[in-house]
Amino acid sequence: FPVTINVDWLYILTGANLHDISLGELWTLGGALFYAFTIVYLQRASSQTSEITLLTFYQIFFVIPWALIVPITLRHPLFLNWISWSGILITAIVSTALALWLQTKYQRETTATRAAIIFCLEPAFATLFGWLINAEPITRSVLIGGSVVLSSLVMVELIPLMSEWFT
């Protein structure tokens, strides 16, 4: 139920409609689904092995071919300068390898549901840092939508507790 509320409000906040779904929105939806499967798989795999670095290596190694498909299929080749390559390397090392290793190492300490909740807080942090760093306005729709999304995340934790109390 809380997941449905979360998806519905994100749908409303983005102003999307089912008649004008773009290829980018389908890619985003597909990416979100695959990432959900990744969280569930990682929960099982990380609790069954002590080789966290090797598990992280395999995850990155098997994703590389998929990451190369996009540049190969572009109509215009990419010509990148050293600034672009340095940004790609920093992103690959810090935002991918290090973050994935940390997730693999510590996800065994929590549940897949709580890991998903942590990832769902990304828009809240993006809004906060957008406001702090770029002085982006926080509008009423952002506050309302963010409140509904955050309350649905809290509901995921409260519903099991409430069912224990009343049984």
- Is residue 43 within 8 A of residue 115, CB to CB? The reply is yes
pLDDT for 57: 86
pLDDT for 10: 63
pLDDT for 76: 66
Q: How many of the other CB atoms lie within 10 Å of CB of 1?
A: 9
pLDDT for 133: 92
Pick from 137, 134, 109: nearest CA to 46: 109
Pick from 90, 97, 91: nearest CA to 63: 97
Q: What is the pTM of this model?
A: 0.59
Segments in the chain below pLDDT 50: none
What's the one-letter identity of residue 70?
V
